[in-house]
Amino acid sequence: MPKQLVLQHGRLSPSVEARLIEEFDIVRSGEQTDSMAIIRQHADAITAMATSARHGVTAEVIEALPRLRAIASFGVGYDNLDVAFARGRDIAVSYTPDVLNDCVADLAWGAMLDLSRGLSEADRFMRRGDWPKGAFRLTNRVSAKKLGIVGLGRIGRAIAQRASGFTMDVRYHNRRPVSDVSYVHESDLAALAHWADYLVVAVAGGSDTRHLVSKSVIEALGPKGYLINIARGSSVDEDALTKALQAKSIAGAALDVYSTEPCFPEVLAQLDNVLLLPHIGTATHETRAAMGELVIDNLKSFFETGHLLTPVPVA
């Protein structure tokens, strides 16, 4: 059987690209200066596309592909995909949920423990040879504290489940209460921040959640509260957070995402009350392999049945 033609829009990991080549005939675009020319050259033959949450796809690209019917994206975020425009043209869009929940939740917990117990700071303390000069500072325990989760979706649930091992009290903020959990729903995000010792951001990106964690929410955390963001940089008012960390008006923050990645406010690198991570929530061998296979499976399902396995949910 001849292989189906798929547009690979933007670079993916070598293993995913190898799998795409194994299963399909591939046309690449998105990195070259003549990307639109390449797209237009093959436009009449392309019905499916593979891309990523990082690279995304614009309305311009979609409009240039009159026969496009499916977009399979590598990643759980879809704010860089013009999903509304695609749906308006009857194009299905998929992403790679579930397979990354555990790794992102693990990272959130690792960041929370590091931040609270000062693990990275203590490592620097040792490497500088400071121990003979005096003991390391006292830190804060995580066990039996109060955990607020912003967004009780798949990843938020995985984070909450891990809290049981630390005997933590868990509350969450969502657009609407979740029916099948026992955690308390808090409709007022500032009130949740005021209550919580740790506020973990686990919402989807996009205009609906831009600066959801606002200046007032950050202020509500107070000098004993910690913020952990493993979701999207756009969901937090980065300027307000930076000022709060500088002023120590919150206890600290752990950040895996930023507003303009790979750039971030340089002043944060000078502060000991912030843990900086380079967007590594899904960056394990196991998760990236599973995400890649789900992209392949979505494309194969589309060609075989006309449907994607994990379509982006309708808002």
Write down the catalytic residue from 40, 261, 286, 307: 261
DSSP code for 78: -
Give the contacts of 90 (CB within 8 A, at least 6 positions apart): 69
Structure tokens at 182: 């026992």
The span from the CA of 215 to the CA of 252, in Å, is 15
User: What b-and-e string marks burial along 81-90, b requiring 16 or more CB atoms within 10 Å of the CB?
Assistant: bbbebbeeee
The string of DSSP letters for 142-210 reads -TT-EEEEE--SHHHHHHHHHHGGGT-EEEEE-SS--TT--SEE-S-HHHHHHH-SEEEE----SGGGT
The span from the CA of 287 to the CA of 232, in Å, is 19
9 is catalytic: no
173 is catalytic: no
Write down the catalytic residue from 121, 232, 238, 288: 232
Say if residues 302 and 92 touch (Cβ distance below 8 Å): yes
Say if residues 95 and 57 touch (Cβ distance below 8 Å): no
Say if residues 261 and 288 touch (Cβ distance below 8 Å): no
Write down the catalytic residue from 54, 117, 279, 293: 279
288 is catalytic: no
Active-site residues, by number, are 232, 261, 279
